[in-house]
Structure 1
């Protein structure tokens, strides 16, 4: 027996096709990306997290010569949001990726660690977290929930039998 697992995402050609809220959030992610610290990979990522109270929390990737010690933009932003606004739900996240070495023409989705971390917040708040993604140019992808991008994900329901 086999089972196919798939998901749908929306693809936009330009920012003008987005809602004002989504477009603004994506612009905030670009602004965060510009401040990224990526001297080793030259791959800069910015994330903007919109909270239910209207606050926008920014994050960008922070590299380290000891590679495992760095942190991705998405986790910087959601962990900051969780630490400083623990009772606020995450409404949506925008991610922007660029390189100092070439033009990024396709959206870069969150890495597996970031998908797992965002999925934890989806599970905690019991509501989906849409993800808006774009490179420096090219199409914009919008996914309705990070758990769509992480099928068969692990969550705390596996940690007890109740």
Structure 2
């Protein structure tokens, strides 16, 4: 038996250090937090997707009393983008979150496991890397590909398809 190690590369930067297009996308994700329906967790998450056709699509988490019938902001956004623009790949996805007091989280939040799987499937569907911007008011993470978030992947390759 041998030990091995996995490592991901990502950048940490301030909002001001982001390219203007990335700043715009983060601002769209922050604005999407305001459309969240989160009466149970009081944790509003917004996401904004930049598509390769130039469009920006936004979504937010939508909770339901019958857990887990709600949906996360990331899946809401990506599924809407895929339905509205089925030929357009998501090139970058920005994610932001607000707490009950209305402030944005100091540290970036990351997608849940289900969202990571959906993001990975979307990346595979279009054959293009999907950059991820995880916003926090203190710093932002920039990840070159959503596959970095799910190093042991389950995909069509796993099934032999």
TM-score, structure 1 length as denominator?
0.94
Alpha-carbon RMSD: 1.2
Provide the residue aligned with 2:10 in structure 1: 9
Shift of 1:26: 0.2
Provide the residue aligned with 2:146 in structure 1: 146
Give distance in 1, aligned partners of 2:22 and 2:97.
16
Moved over 4 A (4+): none
Q: How many residues align?
A: 159
Give distance in 2, aligned partners of 1:111 and 1:146.
12
Provide the residue aligned with 1:110 in structure 2: 111
Provide the residue aligned with 2:71 in structure 1: 71
Give distance in 2, aligned partners of 1:120 and 1:6.
21
Give distance in 2, aligned partners of 1:45 and 1:107.
11
Give distance in 1, aligned partners of 2:125 and 2:152.
17
Q: Which runs of 5+ in 2 are unaligned?
A: none
Q: Which runs of 5+ in 1 are unaligned?
A: none
TM-score, structure 2 length as denominator?
0.95
Give distance in 2, aligned partners of 1:147 and 1:86.
21
